[in-house]
Amino acid sequence: MKKIEPYKNISEAVATLDNGGRFYNILTKIDDGIISGSELGKVAGLFSDKQKMILFFELSVSKLDQANREEVVSKLDSKLQKAYQRYKPQKLSPSEAKSMGVVSSNAIITGIPTLVESKTDLLGFIMVPIITDKATTFTIVPLIEKYDVYEMRDEPASNTFLIAHAKGSKKLPQRKITVAGVLKELKSRKNEVGSTKVFLEAIYHVEIE
């Protein structure tokens, strides 16, 4: 999971995001007041996944006030404007994520994470694709086999919501942070049809001072 340092002011945000004219995106113009997909992709370290680009963008401007955020959003080019409307994250507390989270959508959740140390499969199961030459099939494995899993709380005594990131990433601090990612299905049992639970596949986080 990548740690993000949000922009401190609109000048920093625009100067960093409107970065055209360099050798890596020579077809875009520098300081033209328009933020293109290649410019945002360069900063985010992504060049094809617009859903994650928008997740990065929203978290990076999260410390700006409402008026300045809206001004930066207005500088996105037409394709990014459409992507922003499609992938704009839900901002949820851990408690809200349980009841209001929408599968496959972006979400930003603030709370206190606690690493789940147990190797139990009682947390739930996920579907993992297996790609062969002719087809893609799926197998079901315990969530904790593929991810480091955390229980996220609004406050120490509140209900928990599961967040997870790829194994081997730096462990999260056990204090209040903001985590951004994609909400995914979580099955209670291997043979469960459909899903009534979700977890957050965490991609970025911001530490709260």
DSSP code per residue over 117-149: ----STT-EEEEEEE-SS-EEEEEEEHHHHEEE
- Number of H helices and E strands in the chain, helices first, is 7, 9
pLDDT along the chain (209 residues), means of 10: 93 88 51 82 84 95 96 95 96 90 94 83 77 78 90 80 88 91 87 76 90
Instruction: Quickly count: other Cβ atoms within 10 Å of residue 116's Cβ.
Output: 18
Using the structure block, give the residue that is written with the tokens 């951004």.
Answer: 180
Using alpha carbons only, give the angle 70, 74, 78 rounded to the nearest 5 degrees.
145
Q: How far apart are CA 38 and CA 78, in angstroms?
A: 13
Domain ranges in the chain are 2-88, 91-207
The pTM (predicted TM-score) of the whole model is 0.85
Tell me the CATH number for domain 91-207: 2.40.50.140
